[in-house]
Amino acid sequence: MNFSGKVAIVTGGANGIGKEVVRGIVEGRLPGIFLGVITTLMGGVAAIVAVKLSGGNGVAGAAISSTAASAIATPAALSAVDASFKAIEATATTKITASVIVTAILTPILTAYIAKRVQQKEKNAA
H helix intervals, the chain:
16-53, 59-63, 74-81, 89-125
Residue 108: CB atoms within 10 Å: 12
Cα–Cα distance, 27 to 23 (Å, whole number) = 6
Residue 124's pLDDT is what?
A: 92
Residue 69's pLDDT is what?
A: 47
* Cβ–Cβ < 8 Å for 98, 32: yes
User: Has this prediction a pTM greater than 0.75?
Assistant: no
* Cβ–Cβ < 8 Å for 32, 95: yes
Encode the chain (126 residues) as per-residue pLDDT tens digits: 565 666 655 555 555 666 666 676 677 667 777 777 777 777 778 778 877 888 878 777 777 666 554 576 678 777 877 888 889 888 888 888 787 778 777 878 888 888 888 889 889 988
Question: Considering only CA atoms, which of 1, 2, 20 is closest in space to residue 12?
Answer: 20
